[in-house]
Amino acid sequence: MDDRWAGVIDRLERLLDRAERLLEGADGKAVPDREAFGRHWAFRYERNGRSGRLFPVTHPHRVDLDDLVGIVEAKAALVRNTEQFVERHPANNVLLWGERGSGKSSCVKGLLPRFASRGLRLVEVPREELGSLLSIVSPLRDLPFRFIVFCDDLSFGEGEDFRALKSLLDGGVEERPENIRVYATSNRRHMVPEPMSDNTGKAEIHPEEAVAEKLGLADRFGISIGFPRFDHQAYLDVVDHYVRRMNLSVAPARLHEEANRFALERGHRSGRTARQFVDDLAGRISLESAEGPGRPRNRRG
């Protein structure tokens, strides 16, 4: 083969190899350039091939904390801790726990519109990638931002490893980064199920030690915020709030009757259910208005 063609093929192979590494996220850069953190508020860790990296979220979910009704004390505790963190005062890692749809994740997302202009950034890490936590946060240590590592819907099954999370919460041989805190949500207060085998002694010689280790994970969060279960009135309060916010004209008796029926069909009252009901109601009202009284409705079937 001609030496000239051999050189061309060699360069092409190197270009293809680099392109493959970039596509797999294995180009040696686990985090974006520093400028990206100035342009974007939120980032998500995604595995791509053999490794992973942080990708900017170009359209973050901007939740207005004022829209989260019925959880005043929980919001106040979370905002207070975040204020301390952003202002470089001592602050804790936070566990938000409670029933599904009670507003835990929305509260964390709602911190960005309030604090992003003051340097707060959100880094979402899926549960299945928690083993990579230390490699994710290490490059963030020297950046001039305050990072919340967000672990949504956190729980651990039997045999799952949560040592990386424990190290980030407590600090290991390496000191915990001062500009990083962990905010996690969970439907369980202790995040780890406690099977009967842990109480009977069938799984281990000293089952009480295994149980203590699992339950101790929640204790590593300095602040634990419980979200209350929505009762009938709290649910209707959220419905009323969104109806006012969306400027919908509905008779109160009809509104509450339909809202209760909607929740009954789903078997669950929560802030999420209330918002879903009001979105459905607003869509129906808008459709009826667009069709007008004299136009036939376009029905399926």
- 252 and 211 share a domain? no
The count of C-alpha atoms lying within 13 angstroms of the C-alpha of 143, restricted to the half-sphere facing its C-beta, is 20
- 247 and 206 share a domain? no
For the chain, what is the domain count? 2
Is 180 part of a structural domain of the chain? yes
Three-class DSSP category at 71: coil
d(CA 160, CA 148): 23
Residue that terminates a domain, selected from 227, 247, 271: 227
Please state which of the ranges 135-144, 151-160, 202-211 shows the lowest mean pLDDT: 202-211
DSSP-derived secondary structure letter, 67: G
Q: What is the pLDDT of residue 26?
A: 43
pTM more than 0.75:
yes
- 240 and 104 share a domain? no
Q: Which candidate, 116, 83, 129, 106, places its Cα nearest to that of 223?
A: 83
Q: What is the pLDDT of residue 228?
A: 86
pLDDT at residue 88 tops 70: yes
Q: Output 250 or 128, whichever has higher pLDDT.
A: 250
Is 151 part of a structural domain of the chain? yes
Q: Output 125 or 4, whichever has higher pLDDT.
A: 125
* CA 67 to chain CA centroid, nearest Å: 18
Q: What is the pLDDT of residue 23?
A: 46
CB within 8 A of 210, min separation 6: which ones?
198, 203, 204
Is 267 part of a structural domain of the chain? yes
Q: How much is the average pLDDT of 140-156?
A: 89
Is 158 part of a structural domain of the chain? yes
Q: Output 62 or 85, whichever has higher pLDDT.
A: 85
- 100 and 214 share a domain? yes
Taking all residues of the chain, what is their mean pLDDT, rounded to a whole number?
A: 81
Helix (H) or strand (E) holding 54: strand 51-57
Q: What is the pLDDT of residue 175?
A: 74
- 109 and 200 share a domain? yes
How far is the CA of 301 from the CAs of 201, 298, in angstroms?
60, 10
Q: At what angle do helices 232-245 and 271-291 cross, to 10 degrees?
A: 40
- 155 and 271 share a domain? no
d(CA 272, CA 97): 15
pLDDT tier for residue 49 given thresholds of 50, 70 and 90: low
Q: What is the pLDDT of residue 183?
A: 96
Q: For residue 53, what are the β-bridge partners?
A: 46
Q: Output 146 or 157, whichever has higher pLDDT.
A: 146
- 112 and 164 share a domain? yes
- 223 and 251 share a domain? no
Helices (H), the chain: 3-23, 34-39, 72-86, 104-109, 111-115, 133-137, 163-170, 197-200, 207-219, 232-245, 252-266, 271-291
Q: What is the pLDDT of residue 28?
A: 47
Residue that terminates a domain, selected from 227, 243, 272: 227
Retrieve residue 8's tokens.
């061309």
Residue type, 168: L
Is 23 part of a structural domain of the chain? no
d(CA 23, CA 226): 41
DSSP-derived secondary structure letter, 294: T
Q: For residue 51, what are the β-bridge partners?
A: 48
- 182 and 65 share a domain? yes
- 180 and 217 share a domain? yes
Is 252 part of a structural domain of the chain? yes
Residue that terminates a domain, selected from 208, 227, 246: 227
- 146 and 273 share a domain? no
- 184 and 284 share a domain? no
10 Å CB burial of residue 270 (0-12, 13-18, 19+) is buried
pLDDT tens for 200-224 read 444 545 445 554 555 567 788 999 9
Is 128 part of a structural domain of the chain? yes
d(CA 112, CA 153): 19
The parent domain of residue 163 ranges over 57-227
pLDDT tens for 254-281 read 999 999 999 999 998 999 999 999 999 9
DSSP 149-191: EEE-S----TT---HHHHHHHH--SSPPPTTEEEEEEESSSSS
Is 243 part of a structural domain of the chain? yes
Residue with tokens 């749809």: 101
CATH number at residue 161: 3.40.50.300
- How many degrees, rounded to 5, is the angle at CA 20 between CA 14 and CA 22? 105
pLDDT at residue 122 tops 90: yes
